[in-house]
Structure formats: structure tokens, C-alpha cells
Amino acid sequence: MTQKQTLEMLDKIKNGELSPEEAVLKLRMEPFEDLGYVKLDHHRELRQGIAEVIYGAGKTPEQIVGIADAMVKRGQNLILITRIPPEACAALAVKFSFNYHEMARIGIIGEMPKPDGIGKIVVATGGTSDMPIAEEAALTAEALGNEVVRLYDVGVAGLNRLLSRLDVIMEAQVIVAIAGMEGALASVIGGLADCPVIAVPTSIGYGASFGGLSALLTMLNSCASGVSVVNIDNGFGGGYLASMINHQRIK
């Protein structure tokens, strides 16, 4: 309920169109929306009109279909299902216009939107093994209305691969830097670019990579400014935040 709506409700009480008891019940049932600024289920939904997200891990095919169905009935045209269990795909394909991106473990109901961000989001990876996480980030960003440039396998051990694409780095509005093992990619890109860099450590590696801990610590200690970090293997989080930054507009 906006301030305007609250005023209207109170006017109705004043005019006798609404009893005080009814108003209390209404306020009680929606403690925050009455105040006009809390978003319903904000943390799981994306901006209206673009995409909603279902976190598929641990959900049954029936649950996923059920949630998707409810969203579609609410008028949602684009639904992103992350970490989708492969066995849920058949049921979704029967019922919806559905695409399954195997590498990213993402299923998408509906059509991808036209990009409407400020600029381009670059998704870069250190190696080819980081690609599943990178695709999760890239598809998330695309579903949220961003143009995405993929820059895969540009790890710092072969610096020329990265430097030969410096133009792409320099033109990015936001960069999602994804790397496992030593995770140095984020620092190097952070030093080259002049835009925000979101670092996503991955669990790729063995031995002293300790399931992504090594890359995580490297990225947190980056001496390049403008670098921040999300959870290990959290491609979705990287893509989501990149989209937020790429849609910064005057409020």
C-alpha cells in the first residue's frame, strides 16, 4: 500500500465507507505493504515484467511445475529456473515454451527479453572448466535484459589471451570474473578495467584449492579497487548483481 493508498483508506474511514475494525484487520494482514515500501517477496523475484526466478535445487519436478504454473497464471512471461534437476525438464517442456541449457543447469520458460541496460556485461572465465558457472551468470543476465559478452578461458597463466581482448574489457559496463584454482583473474581484470568487477570463485581445482577457498581468499584480497566477491560457484548471484549495476538509473 502506497502512502496515497493509505490516505485513501483513511479517507474512507473518515467518510464512513470503511469501519475501523476492517482497517485494523487489513493493516494486520499486511503489516508492511501498508507502509508502502516493502516489496512482496522481493528477494526471490526479479523486476516485474522481465523475469522471475525459481531455485530448482532440492525441488521435485511437480513442485517446480506448480510454482511455474502459478507464476505464468500471474501473467509472468519469462521464468528462469536455476540448478534445475534434469528430470524436471520433460514435464516443463510439455506444459510451457521451455528451453533447457544443460551446461548452466538452467531452464527458461518464455522468450529472452531485449537488452535494456546501460551497456554490456562481460562474463570472463579463467578456464574452460569454469564455464558452467559462467553460463549460469550469463543466462541470468540475459534473462534480466542485458547484452552479455562471453570471454572464456582467458586465465592469467596465458596473459596474452586476456590482453588480446583488452578492447572488450575496456568497453564493459560491468564484468563478472569467474575463476577457480588461484583465482587471480579478478585482480588482473580489476587492474585493467575501470568498471565494477564482480568476482565469482569456483570450486574447480584440487588439493590446496580446498573446494574454492583458495580462489575466494585471493579475490577478497584483491589489491585492485572496484572488485567485490560473491559465494563460491554463485554464477546466478554474479549475473544478478551485474544486471542491477547495468540498470542503475536515477530513482
Query: How large is the greatest C-alpha to C-alpha distance in the chain, in angstroms?
Result: 75
Applying CB under 8 A, does 198 fall inside the site for its own copies? Answer: yes
Applying CB under 8 A, does 125 fall inside the site for its own copies? Answer: no
Which is closer to its own copies, CB of 85 or CB of 93?
Answer: 85
How many secondary structure helices (H) and strands (E) does the chain include? 10, 9
Applying CB under 8 A, does 90 fall inside the site for its own copies? Answer: no
Task: Give, as ranges, the residues between 13 and 42 that touch its own copies (CB under 8 A).
Answer: 13-14, 16, 20-21, 23-24, 27-42
Applying CB under 8 A, does 110 fall inside the site for its own copies? Answer: no
* Cβ atoms within 10 Å of 52's Cβ, excluding its own: 24
Residues in binding contact with its own copies, number by CB under 8 A: 114
DSSP 147-190: EEEEE-S--GGGHHHHHTTHHHHHH-SEEEEEE-TT-THHHHHH
Among 76, 82, 125, 234, binds its own copies (CB under 8 A): 234
Please report how close the Cβ of residue 56 comes to its own copies at its closest, in angstroms. Answer: 12
List Cβ neighbours of 23 (8 Å cut-off, separation of 6 or more): 9, 10, 13
Task: Give, as ranges, the residues between 152 and 191 that touch its own copies (CB under 8 A).
Answer: 155-161, 163-167, 170-171, 173, 181-184, 187-188, 190-191
Torsion of CA 47, 50, 55, 61, to 10 degrees: 140
Task: Give, as ranges, the residues between 126 and 145 that touch its own copies (CB under 8 A).
Answer: 126-129
